[in-house]
Chains A and B, each alone.
Chain A
Amino acid sequence: MNKVLNITKSTPGMVFIVTLLAGLIVHLLTGNFYTLFNISMITRAASFIIIVGFAQTLVLLTGGIDLSVASIGSLSAMVSAMLMVEQGITPIIALPLSCMLGFLLGAVNGFFIAYLRITPFIVTLAIGEIYRGIVFVVTRGMPITGVPEEAVALASGIIGGFLPHMVIIMGIICVILTIMLKKTVFGRHIYAVGGNRHCAKIVGVKTERVELMVYCLSGFLAATAGVLMTCRLSSFQATIGSNWVMPSVTAAVLGGTSMIGGVGGVIGTVIGGLLSGVIANSITLLRVSSYWETIVTGGVVITAVLIDVLKGNKAISDKIKRIFVRK
């Protein structure tokens, strides 16, 4: 019981409750939020952002940031489409190959950041721009259509009418990453590097290697999301992933991952990503203009972070209480 209470007190716990409540309100107003169909639609749509959010979470844990997740997703997606459509390579080979490409694309970031010690923000911003440019140079912004049926089925399929393949894939990745982060030496070293790099170095953590690997994994996961998106859309669009960067950070932060590093985890990211998905869905169901979506999401993020700060810092919360109590 105590444990349950503790979970609800944590940031992801709170966000989860807010998510359920938001759904409940929308359900009471429209009567069609908690339907199997709607839930499976929300979770399928959110799964893509959540997978990118995983990528971002890993990087944030080391105290970095990856602004290139969108373009890595896009570039890998393009390659996967070209392999399948233009080269006629079977998806069983083409899809993993494209995901591995993301690994290498991420390695470029990792090399500059870990070994040349350039700020992650700048490196991933610049490298991301280059990747995005490559996509436009190659495709001239034109879509690549004709993705094979099996590939489309992989990302669009729904088991039993309510459990989308995408959710299963996301879930499997989540489990693997959680085990990696909690149970392996590499995983704990990620936290050590983000928690105190100097200390990590002194105890013999290969800090550079850990950092490089984290950007590689980030690239791999971003590519996975991009490739699956191509399958889902049954064609490559140059816009794939173009708006993934901020939502991925949002999902991670709402999930309780610290921007300074060393604190957080991927399960929180699932919850954070779901909340974003619920907001978007609710706005549609309530027939509010979709232009409001980012305003609401932004408001939710700042509120969540604020509550977090107030919880963790009694001095600030006292200060704020005083401001309101006095007046």
Chain B
Amino acid sequence: MGEYLVEMKGITKTFPGTKALDQVDLKLKAGEIHALLGENGAGKSTMMNILTGQIPMDAGDIYIDGKLAKISAPKDAFSQNIVLVPQELNLILEASIAENIFLGNEQTKGRLIDWKATQEEAKRLLKLLDVELDVTQKAGKLSAAYQQLVSIARALAYNPRLLILDEPTAVLTNREAESLFASMHRLQKQGTAMVFITHHLDEVMREADCMTIMRDGKLVRVADVKDITKDEIINAMAGRTVEKAAHIARTVSEEILFQANHLSRDSEFQDVSFDIKKGEVLCVAGLVGSGRTEIFKTVFGITEKEPGGKTYFEGNEVNIRSPRDAIALGMGYVSEERRHDGITPGMSVLENMLLPTFHKIKKKGFIDFKQASVLADDFIHKFKIKTPSHETLIRNLSGGNQQKVIVARWIAKGVKMLILDEPTRGIDVNAKVEIHKLIHELAQQDVAVVVISSEMEEVLELADRIMVIHQGKISGFVEDVDLATEESILKIAFNS
């Protein structure tokens, strides 16, 4: 057996218009947790898709156990026990948890599916992750965090020698992430190698052994964790120094823009009352599954509230029964699930950005595409959206740039209140800084911004006020954000 479990050499891949990978090497030892770092679009996912046989490479070699391996289809990767846990949740929501875990890898007795073994094995695999669930319930019933854990359990069913985790902690709370890391270290002791893709550098410094840093499709640096500092990593990823914004205390107007009284929705959240002032950044903290997403889906009219709850906008009682009603009042909403309900992949950047604004830029009944192009180019420039042109289909952009387009959508529309659910999840450092800047700018212009986030750092940096949700109820507000810490927020959540 060679020194390395997996060795990728000189991997090159060109997509129409872009060189996604240029002579990239990646060397993985058995039993190590290897962080793969880089901004969105740096080529991390492409690299992993090649290793798992999902896309072919143009040039390069892959060695496994020192022997040249031919990986040209996903099944080649499986037969080498290389398994990827994708970032985007990828479960069949109508099927049971156990079924999802063994999808494509069914436990059989003869030619029939052995349901008993399936369920028992599913339970065992989840236990490895420190999770106990009724595996016969539908996957769709689970929160995003648990769905992520089910995806990981699915990968474990293949007895991976190399496990690739793409942003595994993006939807997890700290506690859930901790137990995931504990399971990762357990796997590590058994000799499993892991590639860990993440944007949380703290996690890398704490949990990984070494790292490969990529930028613009090229290898930038390979280092052991102990030999590098966080700032060095950031600079290597960005190719320049990233400014870290500190929390700025602001004075917010006293004028209440939106108010909710006693909102409830069965089994999602109960008796929620809060208000948002003009120009305020209200961050909503809480564990995934606490009901924070659901509350604001109801506020925006995507789901209906129970009778009894009342909402007020600019002092008038309003009954928001659909997103249209909310938009008419001047609200905007960016969902946490970008692919599911954020973008229309087959449409251009321009159309995705201006879809709600088309009504306003008409000339004689027809959309004025000249004006639309000017407007779109303006935002592309202002928000540094990386795209060849506004005609490019949005699905060809990286996640961070897609997100910028969607945020720009509401700014172009001109909103008084903007709800952002996990606006920076899975987004690289620079894009994140830019989105944070945008949020501040909006607040300066008197827009009320709601930011729902799992990332405490983000909450503490952005918020004028923090609303803490726990188990479908508001467990408290933090008025003085400067004095708040991650621990104090968690205390509020759990002490209610």
Contacts and interface: CB of A to CB of B under 8 A. Distances in A.
Interface of A: 179, 183-185, 188, 191-192, 195-196, 198-206, 262-263, 314-315, 318-319
Contacts of B342: 199, 202
B404 to A, nearest CB: 16
A198 B346 contact: no
Closest 6 CB pairs of A and B: A198-B341, A195-B344, A204-B327, A183-B366, A196-B344, A203-B356
24 contacts: A183-B369, A185-B359, A185-B367, A188-B351, A188-B367, A192-B351, A192-B355, A195-B347, A196-B341, A196-B343, A198-B340, A198-B341, A201-B323, A201-B341, A202-B302, A202-B333, A203-B327, A203-B356, A203-B409, A205-B355, A206-B324, A262-B346, A263-B346, A318-B56
A200 B344 contact: yes
Contacts of A185: 358-359, 362, 367
B323 A204 contact: yes
Contacts of B362: 185
B55 interface: yes
Contacts, number: 74
B323 A192 contact: no
A187 B347 CA distance: 13
A230 B369 CA distance: 41
Interface string B331-361: 0010100001111111100010001101100
B365 interface: yes
A303 B423 CA distance: 44
A262 B355 contact: no
Interface in B398-449: 409
Chain B interface category by residue count? 20 to 34
A125 to B, nearest CB: 24
A115 to B, nearest CB: 13
Name the residue in B327, B335, B366 with the highest tally of chain A Cβ atoms < 10 Å from its Cβ: B366
Contacts of A179: 366
Given A185-B362, A315-B56, 20 more contacts: A179-B366, A188-B367, A191-B346, A191-B351, A195-B344, A195-B346, A196-B341, A198-B340, A198-B341, A199-B342, A200-B344, A200-B355, A201-B322, A202-B335, A202-B341, A203-B327, A204-B323, A204-B327, A315-B54, A315-B55
B345 A196 contact: yes
- Main secondary structure on A side of the interface with B: helix
Contacts of A203: 323, 327, 355-356, 409
Given A196-B344, A204-B327, A262-B347, A188 B358 contact: yes
Contacts of A202: 300, 302, 323, 333, 335, 341-342
A196 B322 CA distance: 17
Interface string B310-340: 0000000000001110011000010100001
B382 to A, nearest CB: 20
A201 B55 CA distance: 33
Nearest to A185: B358
Name the residue in B341, B343, B345 with the highest tally of chain A Cβ atoms < 10 Å from its Cβ: B341
Nearest to A191: B347
Contacts of B73: 319
B362 to A, nearest CB: 7
A195 B393 CA distance: 12
Nearest to A204: B327
Nearest to A197: B341
Contacts of A318: 56, 72
Name the residue in B56, B302, B322, B358 with the highest tally of chain A Cβ atoms < 10 Å from its Cβ: B358
A227 B328 CA distance: 42
Contacts of B356: 203-204
Contacts of B333: 202
B344 A262 contact: yes
Name the residue in A202, A315, A318 with the highest tally of chain B Cβ atoms < 10 Å from its Cβ: A202
Contacts of A204: 323-324, 327-328, 356
Contacts of B343: 196, 199
B365 A184 contact: yes
Contacts of B351: 188, 191-192
Nearest to A319: B73
Contacts of A196: 341, 343-345
Nearest to A187: B367
Contacts of A195: 344-347
Nearest to A314: B56
B346 A184 contact: no
A191 B344 CA distance: 9
Nearest to B365: A184
A263 B395 CA distance: 14
Nearest to B16: A314
Nearest to A206: B324
